[in-house]
Amino acid sequence: MIEIVILYILNKYDATIYRVAKIIDEYFFAYLKASSGTINPALKRLENLGCVEYTKKMTEGGMLSKMYSITPTGKKHLVDLLLSINEKNPYHIINTIKLALYCSDVLSINERIEFKENMLNILELYKIKLEKGIKNEYISINEIQKQTVEITIAETESLIKLL
């Protein structure tokens, strides 16, 4: 997901690594906290794929800094990443979809239709799995566990309605 976030940011602004981290903190505060130890390798991967490029600039403080920008390949890769989300890990499904929705304004109308269908499919399957889990007679869950799953079902239903 960090690649989606970085490409999303660079689609809007050219930025240094420090600025990317600040924008993540400010703009994605509800979904993600990323350190430079996460951002740097992701930028390297994106650079190797031809998705980002940089120019070296001198800052006002006299330090040499890399100013990153997205390439046309990066814009296409961002769309491809959003359209190919296929999260299987139950722990990540809700947050992955929230984050993808948060970034989906970069998609065209036709891409948004495809994106919506994909997200709905993931959410519907997840909801079925949750409902089956709390009705499974072979496992014993206590009331707090059941209520926790019911909260997740409600959150899943809310996302389905949002789409």
| Residue 36 banded pLDDT, cuts 50, 70, 90 | confident
* Cβ 117 vs Cβ 43: under 8 Å: no
- pLDDT tens for 101-156 read 999 999 999 999 999 999 999 999 999 999 999 999 898 899 999 999 999 999 99
Task: Give the whole-angstrom CA distance, residue 19 versus residue 96.
Answer: 23
Which residues constitute the domain of residue 57?
Answer: 2-71
Which of 71, 95, 112 is the endpoint of a domain?
A: 71
Q: What CATH number is attached to the domain comprising 24?
A: 1.10.10.10
Please give the share of the chain, as a percent, with pLDDT higher than 90. Answer: 82
Q: Is 78 contained in some domain?
A: no
Backbone angles phi, psi at 60, to 5 degrees: -60, -25
- Indicate whether 90 and 42 sit together in one domain: no
Q: How far is CA 73 from the centre of its chain?
A: 19
Task: Give the whole-angstrom CA distance, residue 112 versus residue 123.
Answer: 16
Q: What's the Rg (C-alpha) of the chain?
A: 19
* Cβ 106 vs Cβ 78: under 8 Å: yes
Task: Give the whole-angstrom CA distance, residue 154 versus residue 122.
Answer: 15
**C-alpha distances in Å from residue 118, one per residue of 85, 131, 142, 154, 162:** 8, 20, 33, 19, 14
- Indicate whether 21 and 64 sit together in one domain: yes
Q: Give the helix/strand (H/E) hosting 28.
A: none
Which of 48, 71, 94 is the endpoint of a domain?
A: 71
Question: Token match 């496992």: residue?
Answer: 139
* Cβ 21 vs Cβ 35: under 8 Å: yes
Indicate the SS3 state at residue 86.
coil
- Indicate whether 8 and 51 sit together in one domain: yes
pTM: 0.89
- Indicate whether 156 and 105 sit together in one domain: yes
- Indicate whether 65 and 24 sit together in one domain: yes
Q: Is 155 contained in some domain?
A: yes
Number of domains in the chain: 2
